[in-house]
Amino acid sequence: MFSKGSKQVSAGTESARSTGKASVPSIISADLRINGDLVSAGDVQVDGWVAGDIQSRNVVVGQGATVEGEVQGETVRICGTVKGSIKADQVVLEKTAKVTGDVMHKSLAIEEGAYLEGMCKRIDAPAAAQVPAAMSTQAAKPALPAANEMKPLLGGEAKPLGEKLAAIR
């Protein structure tokens, strides 16, 4: 246990550490105040006060907690106060939540009583992924007519734009 010899680590223990699946969430307790950014591959629970951005897989801002900065994650659950933007696949605003900032999400749930002042925007797959690779960017754009090009009117007759404007005057 305390020997000076080489220490052997089993493959199962090392893989559990590297994936972070079996890890305990990082908790910012109610009496802790952090000035700076938090970056974690695992879960973060904030019960205190954070002045900075938070980036994690799962983020929970507890009731009575305050975050002044951007919150990013796969899943974000807000029970406290966030002054900044939220960007996540799944966002849940509990009834005690107070958010001042924009929310970018794939899935959004807002409980009755939650406060939200900001813009909500759904984020989907990038537009480039929806266009087949064989299509060029020129082929994807519709051709716009020139300003003086002759276009048929409702009556079927084509007149240059200058003549149309003169007829209106």
In the predicted model, is pLDDT for residue 128 greater than 50? no
Q: Would you say 85 and 101 are in contact if contact means Cβ atoms under 8 Å apart?
A: yes
Distance CA 59, CA 77 (A): 6
Collapsing DSSP states into helix, strand and coil, what is residue 111?
coil
pLDDT of the residue at 153: 47
If 0-12 CB within 10 Å is exposed, 13-18 middle and 19+ buried, where does residue 149 land?
A: exposed
What pLDDT is stored for residue 100 in this prediction?
Answer: 97
Distance, in Å, from the CA atom of 39 to the CA atom of 131, rounded to the nearest integer, reads 34
Residue pair 74/88 in contact by the 8 Å Cβ criterion:
yes
pTM: 0.62
Structure confidence at residue 14 as a pLDDT band (50, 70, 90): very low
**Distances 75 to 60, 105, 165 between C-alpha atoms, Å:** 8, 10, 56
Q: What is the average per-residue pLDDT within 44-68?
A: 96
Residues 6+ positions from 153 with CB-CB distance below 8 Å: 159, 164
Please report, for the chain, the start and end positions of each structural domain, with discontinuous segments joined by +. Answer: 11-125
- Eight-class DSSP state of 113: T
